[in-house]
Amino acid sequence: MTCRHVIQDLGETLVMNLLISLLVMVITLPFLQEAPQGTPSEVDRLLDRLEDEHGAIRLFSSPLTYRKEYDLEGDFETRLGEIAITINPPERDVVLVFDRIIDASGHGTSKSEYHAFEEGWWVEMTPDRKRIVRRQISRPGEDLDPFKLGEGPFPLPLAQKADAVRRRFEPSIGTVPDEPLFRALKDVEVLHLIPRPGTPAHEDHESIDLIFEKTGLLPVGVLVRHRNGDRTSVWLRSPKLHVDETVFMNGRIQKEMAALREQAAGEGWSVEVKRLAEPISETEGSRP
């Protein structure tokens, strides 16, 4: 079973939808080719600036607002939380916490949900149930990048191969989408991405809009238009780069996650481990 199939088997959970939409633009988008809309020089200038500004990023965090609109049900849900990303090439570690859920009626519920991606595993911690679920995304030493733009379940465009990215997307200069989360955004740059036919991203997404601060080009928003009519939008309310790793690891959600790990070990929380199935050799696969 492949990495992508494992994620599909999990269903369209909130976190998977968020990471698919958010991590595709969290840091930078280098190496993209000329745009079909606007002049190529506009797109080239933006991409060059993104590469220059973001090439050395190692520590990133931001509070966020997530909104998912369900086309079939005519309903939507909003969640408030925070994300922190550590990049130590080729490794990426992610901590994601949601603190509040708001339904379409405006009713809010405070309930913390903790998630992390580390060393090839996706970890979900549920304090009220004293339960941990660990899902293996990639095997040790496996040449599989779950953050590969346009293919991985958590696309994060860092250290991507230029030719591979060009094969997967058609980029252009866009405008701020008319979405509730983005109506107050000003002085931003928008990059519009259309997945190329035949790519994994094309199967699920019609388009992706990435929104960056005009001056520092830090990411502030993303909109994913899904082929089933759903729309996922994320507003990074206060994106920040960090230099001091010690200070960064003492951030709120990093400390809360570390404390939960200690609590789980001390109280003997239940742990469910879901490993990737062992690959079947060609010889085994051909047996009657």
Q: How far is CA 224 from CA 14, 33, 134, 205, 215, in A?
A: 14, 20, 27, 7, 24
Residue 288 lies in a domain: no
Give me the pLDDT at residue 165, please.
53
- For 41-100, write each residue's pLDDT tens digit: 687 777 777 777 777 788 999 999 999 999 988 889 999 999 998 888 777 788 999 999
Residue 27 lies in a domain: yes
CATH number, position 154: 2.50.20.10
Residue 287 lies in a domain: no
Q: Structural domain tally of the chain?
A: 1
Residue 108, pLDDT > 60, answer yes
Residue 282 lies in a domain: no
Residue 137, pLDDT > 70, answer yes
Asked if 127 and 260 touch (Cβ cutoff 8 Å), the reply is yes
Find the mean pLDDT for residues 143-161. 50
Residue 203 lies in a domain: yes
Of 3, 86, 18, 30, nearest to 232 (Cα)?
18
Cα separation, 229 vs 46, in Å, equals 29
Residue 223, pLDDT > 80, answer yes
Q: Read off the tokens for 35.
A: 């745009």
Burial status of residue 50 (CB atoms within 10 A of its CB: 0-12, 13-18, 19 or more) = buried
Residue 280 lies in a domain: no
Cα separation, 54 vs 280, in Å, equals 40
Give me the pLDDT at residue 145, please.
58
Of 85, 101, 32, nearest to 236 (Cα)?
85
Burial status of residue 46 (CB atoms within 10 A of its CB: 0-12, 13-18, 19 or more) = buried
Residue 103 lies in a domain: yes
Residue 215 lies in a domain: yes
Domain that holds residue 100: 3-272
Find the mean pLDDT for residues 274-282. 77
